[in-house]
Amino acid sequence: TADLIEAGYFGPQVTQRLRERMGNLVILSYRYESVWWYEKGKFEQKYYGHHGGLTPQEMEIPLLALEI
């Protein structure tokens, strides 16, 4: 995590509050790939979808609102 902070992955300034909430392990996948961590007997998940992409198509989504 410290290497990523130093490299600017979390922006130019990382607050102490954010540092306290970060874990000591960050896993980044290759472009267009996903990472799954599975330990038999410890982890169960029904796959409905995933999010967290960094491409403009994944970060910039339309917002539609209708006042009733």
Evaluate if residue 30 carries a pLDDT over 90: no
Largest CA distance in the chain: 49
Evaluate if residue 52 carries a pLDDT over 80: no
Evaluate if residue 68 carries a pLDDT over 90: no
Map out the domains of the chain as residue ranges.
Answer: 1-44
Global pTM reads: 0.45
CA distances to 18, 61, 62 from 15, rounded to whole Å, are 5, 27, 30
* Model confidence band, residue 51 (pLDDT cutoffs 50, 70, 90): low
